[in-house]
Structure 1
Amino acid sequence: MSGGLVVSVRVAILGGGPAGLGLARQILARDDAGEMEVEVFEANAEVGGLAASFALEGVVFDHGSHRLHPSIDPEILKVLNELLPGVLHRRPRHGRIVLGGRFIRFPLRPVDAALKLPWRIKCGLLRDMLVRPSRYDTDSFAATLEGQLGVTLCREFYFPMARKLWGREPIEIAAEQARRRVSVRSPWQIIRRMTRQLWNRGRAGASFYYPDGGFGRIAEALAKDFERRGGRLSVSSPVTGLQHRDPGWQIETGEGRHEFDRVFSTIPISRLVGLMEPVPPTEVAAATSALHSRAAVLVCVVLDSARWTPFDAHYVPDSAVGLSRTSEPTHYAAARSHSDRTGVCIEVPCDPGDATWQMSDDELVNQVGREVTRIGLPPLKPIRAAEVRRVPWVYPVYDHGYDKHLATVRSYLDQWPGLVTLGRQGLFAHDNTHHALAMAFAAADCLGSDGSWDAAGWAAANDRFADHVVED
């Protein structure tokens, strides 16, 4: 590091997404960071991970629909605003859900829902509000949600969407997935949220923060400030081996072996276990193999049109099509670089190696083109350019027994001194970016300038993380 300081603590961070870069930046932003050396290893050529952005024909795309939720910790938001002055804007949400073959505004609005929902859904919702079970089973995603919300919303939206996102029948999914992924607990809570919009259009769920130039600007700003403070960012540097060499760690990459005192990992937990040397015990390897994540194919098209629809996103539970969501990122930002074209990202959940994953790019573009018109959206044309991205780790699957498998893996990793996992992938968690940043800032607070670790503080932070619920 600069200034001729003697390095006393060397820290490695695996993964250059928001969690890894947020942690790296916060370590070096502290007043007592003078004798700490921090290096981030990112496998890709650009930072950001799932939260990265890329340009196609001058249109910026994200890897799916990404937003920064307004419930973000104010101190973290303050840091981001300092790093992105005049760039991070609060924007209104303006999406739609396909329910019963009709487009309904999302977030839900009372008048729109009353006028557009099919009568069978409205009658079903009324019945579910008036006839609530006094007790219900909580042994699965299906039983929990039906008990809380009633059968109508479950069968029209949550269950078909669950089949798409996680590739399982709702009864095969653990109840914890309902708690972590569905923020409402009753039909009346939905009604209250809808009603509040009549006089409070700026409420948290109806808006989001988004930076001009794409969601990836957040990770890029963290990376830039990290490097400005003396940190080392190694992109295109996948880690190929990880070995505990008392009292520290040895990391192997294509450039050789590197020695560190502490390692923080934000990469997928199953990949981390696969890097460990010596090979983990059989029961740990088996538990790791039993943890499943769903993948997604992202079909990104640039249209020679100022806009595709007036809406920023569409949520599609319809089982007749494979796509789950569309987003038009040019509607997310407050400013746009081109007025004569727009971009559309179509997300198709799948499994690595399945039929969807193996389709050619042209086949995928043609398939989603047919699907969007089938559900009543405008044709994807005229197409100026298209790019398909295949993302292997997107949705953690909480099937029955996942908690025991995860506990086995976590117990194995926790036994190693100086190794900490965090972030969505590192904790096998359903989290938003503001949750990942909260983990990063908490981890930085637990790391002493002498390399010591506040285990009790981190345990308390993990208890808070367990209460995170995804904000859609």
Structure 2
Amino acid sequence: METPHNKLKTGDICVLGAGPAGLACGWAMEKTGNTGYSIFEKSSVHGGNARTVNHNDFLYDTGPHRFHTRNAEATRRISELMGEDLHSVDAPARIFWQGRFVDFPLRPSQILKNGGFLYTLKAARDLAISRTIPSRNDVCDNFSRYARSRFGRTIAETFLIPFSERLWGLPGEELSPDIAGRRLPGFSLLSLLKETFLGSKNSDHLEGRFFYPNRGYGQISDRIAECLDPRKLHYNHRVVGIETKEDYIASLEINTDSEKVIIKPGFVINTLPITAIVSMMNPRPPEEVMRAAAQLKFRDVILVALFIDQPYISDAAVTYFQGSEYEFSRAHEPRNRSLAMSPEGKTSLVVEFPCFRGDDVWSCNPEQLTNRLIKQLDKMGLINGSSVFDSDVLRLENAYPVYFKDYIQVSEIVLSFLRTFKNFSTLGRGGSYFYGHLHDFISEAFDVVSAINQFKSQPQKTHYPN
């Protein structure tokens, strides 16, 4: 339900974007009794790039999302919100390597099985060298150097570097070591030797346990949206202009289906890409800020969902493809997260193509891309191409920020400028140029709203805090 344009109030808190971060801000305001807010979403749906798509009798997520319990407060909030609709999933993540599934993060015993004894010895030797002999340059200023120094040349160049280059769209030497994140914990020389020579399988580096909603990850966004006053959530409202005056946001220009609306906000909470925000500002931000914004990149993604007439493909929560010969980076089988995602006796496979708008993959005809994918997966032996009876193609813009080597310094130039506006705050993947997850943004949203509410209660304050 839309609020008539003439009821949009001057002085409201305006939230830009109804993805997980924007919805969490509205949720936090409802929880604290703050009804003076509006959320503006350019599309006709909420959830951003973390929603669930309904295709005939199938459900699939816009990526292999999972809810980890890394933040106790966010976990408590989501658990209370979802109740019995949230369950635990214990399924492995895997790499497809030489025609077999290999556990990811890497399990040494399967390196031996797939790579052979000589390959495993070479990997063990390189790993030992990387851990015991200091590098000529101890500063790992790019991901390739980090991967080789942490895991040895063999493992780095077989798995980590080629996969990361396709995922992020830049050579490993141009990527920040920060992209390693938490994805590569626990792989050690000791575990490699124990599994190779003693047959031990007690290494703790296998990832796979997480929480997941019964009807897809987007059910979390749906449930949060249900907590909001529907009159506060405005679909098909695209922000096209931002007027600034000294140190505050003076007005927002918003396009609807039928007209342009000018709103004078009391406070703005942004979750849109910061590159888009500065490009809409009038007066134009300083040239240093605009040059920095021009260096920031967001990776786009094409999802190809294949609907398959067979009960299952594998037991993996997600499968990664590290070879440079692949255009796609990973795939997930939704039914391995919840049986409600596919009809009985059938399954689906959602394959992710990371790209930039304008790339050959992005511009490819959907039918051609799908047919090419089916042939390649069939040739790999991952699926029987003749069992695919339907498909769907979805394009996701600005899926995640690219962590190039100097991204922290460059993004900070833009973020520092935005912090000069007293009635403006920014969060989310696009809004903070941070590859965060739902638990991060829930926690941040409640912190931001708490600070705004505290300052709102002080009448001597002209603007809210940032």
| TM-score, structure 1 as length reference | 0.85
What do you get for the CA RMSD once the two structures are aligned?
3.0
Match of 2:294 among 289, 295, 313: 289
Q: What pairs up with 1:359-378 in 2 under 5 angstroms? A: 359-378=364-383
1:200 and 1:389 map into 2 onto residues whose CA distance is 38
> Is the CA contact 1:167–1:350 (under 8 Å) kept in the aligned structure 2?
yes
CA distance in 2, matches of 1:41, 1:154: 44
Cα distance change on mapping 1:188 and 1:264 into 2, 3 Å: farther
Q: 1:120-148 CA deviation, whole Å, 9 max, x = no partner?
A: 44223311332223243312111122112
Query: Cα offset for 1:107?
Result: 5.0
Q: Distance in 1 between matches of 2:161 and 2:353?
A: 17
Aligned pairs for 1:170-189 within 5 A = 170-178=172-180, 180=181, 182-184=183-185, 187-188=188-189
Residue 101 of structure 1: CA displacement? 4.9
> Which residue in 1 is equivalent to 2:65?
66
Q: Is the 8 A contact 2:128 2:189 kept in 1?
A: no
Q: Secondary structure at the match of 1:67?
A: coil
Q: Does 1:421 align with 2:426?
A: yes
1:389-442 Cα offsets, whole Å, 9 max, x none, are 112212322223333321221122111111111111111112222222222232
State the shift of 1:109 in Å: 4.7
Separation of aligned partners in 1, 2:456 and 2:244: 16
Residue 215 of structure 2 corresponds to residue 210 of structure 1? no
SS in 2 for 1:44: coil
Q: Does 1:103 align with 2:71?
A: no
1:229-240 equivalent positions in 2, closer than 5 A: 232-240=232-240
Q: How is 1:239-258 mapped onto 2 (pairs within 5 angstroms)?
A: 239-244=239-244, 249-255=250-256, 256-258=261-263
CA distance in structure 1 between the partners assigned to 2:385 and 2:61 by the alignment: 18
Partner amino acid, structure 2, of 1:310: D
Could you tell me which residue of structure 1 aligns to residue 305 of structure 2? 300
* Closer, same or farther: CA 322–380 of 1 in aligned 2, 3 Å: same
Q: 1:320 to 1:55 in 2, by over 3 A?
A: same
- What does residue 146 of structure 1 align with? 148
Q: Which residue of 1 aligns with 2:361?
A: 356
Q: Decide which of 387, 392, 413 is 1:382's aligned counterpart.
A: 387
Shift of 1:190: 6.9
Q: Could you say which residue in structure 1 is the equivalent of 2:6?
A: none
Question: How many residues are matched?
Answer: 442
Corresponding residue number in structure 1 for 2:160:
158
Contact kept? 1:96, 1:105, Cα under 8 Å: yes
Name 1:403's counterpart in structure 2: 408
Contact kept, 8 Å, 1:94 with 1:107, in 2: the verdict is: no
1:225 counterpart residue number: 227
Is this contact kept in 1: 2:93–2:317, CA < 8 A? yes
Question: Contact 2:329–2:353 (CA<8 Å) still a contact in 1?
Answer: yes
Residue 8 of structure 1: how far off its partner (Å): 10
Partner of 1:29: 31
Q: CA deviation at 1:187?
A: 2.8
Residue in structure 2 matched with residue 465 of structure 1 by the alignment: none
Quote how far apart the aligned CAs of 1:238 are.
1.6
Say if 1:358 and 1:378 are closer, same or farther in 2 by CA, change over 3 A: same
For residues 89-128 of structure 1, what are the structure 2 equivalents within 5 Å? 89-106=87-104, 108-109=106-107, 111-128=109-126
1:267-278 to structure 2, matched below 5 A, reads: 267-278=272-283
Amino acid at match of 2:25: L
Contact 1:93 1:312 survives alignment (8 Å): yes
Distance 1:100 1:384, change over 3 A: closer
CA distance 1:50–1:190, change in 2 (3 Å): farther
1: CA distance between counterparts of 2:121 and 2:201? 23
Distance 1:176 1:109, change over 3 A: closer
Cα distance change of structure 1 residues 430 and 224 upon mapping to structure 2, 3 Å threshold = same
* 8 Å CA contact 1:9, 1:451 repeated in 2: no
Query: Which one-letter code corresponds to 1:379 in the other structure?
Result: N
The offset of 1:76, in angstroms, is: 1.8
Q: Deviations over 1:164-220 (max 9, x none)?
A: 012211112233334x4644376348769999x96799x994301110111101111
Match of 2:77 in 1: 79
Point out where structure 1 has 5 or more consecutive residues left out of the alignment: 2-6, 460-472
AA in 2 matched with 1:316: F
- Would you say 1:325 and 2:326 are equivalent positions? no
In structure 2, what is the Cα distance between the partners aligned to 1:207 and 1:443?
30
1:343-373 per-position Cα deviation (integer Å, ceiling 9, x unaligned): 2111111110111111101111012112223
Name the amino acid aligned to 1:161: F
Name the residue aligned to 1:52: 51
On the 8 A contact 2:91/2:317 being kept in 1, the answer is yes
Misfit runs of 4+, over 4 Å: 107-114, 188-195, 197-201, 245-248
| Distance 1:185-1:290 versus aligned 2 partners, 3 A rule | farther
Distance in 2 of aligned mates of 1:108 and 1:146: 15
Amino acid at match of 1:275: M
Pairwise CA distance, 1:152: 1.8
Bigger Cα displacement from structure 2, 242-251 vs 371-380: 242-251
The whole-number CA distance in structure 1 between the counterparts of 2:235 and 2:303 is 23
1:338 match: 343
Instruction: Confirm whether residue 266 of structure 1 aligns to residue 267 of structure 2.
Output: no
CA offsets, 1:69-121, max 9 Å, x none? 132x2222222222222111111123321235532133555655554443344
**Identity between Structure 1 and Structure 2 (%):** 26
Q: Is the 8 A contact 1:327 1:345 kept in 2?
A: yes
The amino acid of 1:232's aligned partner reads K
Q: Distance in 2 between matches of 1:415 and 1:225?
A: 32
Shift of 1:322: 0.7
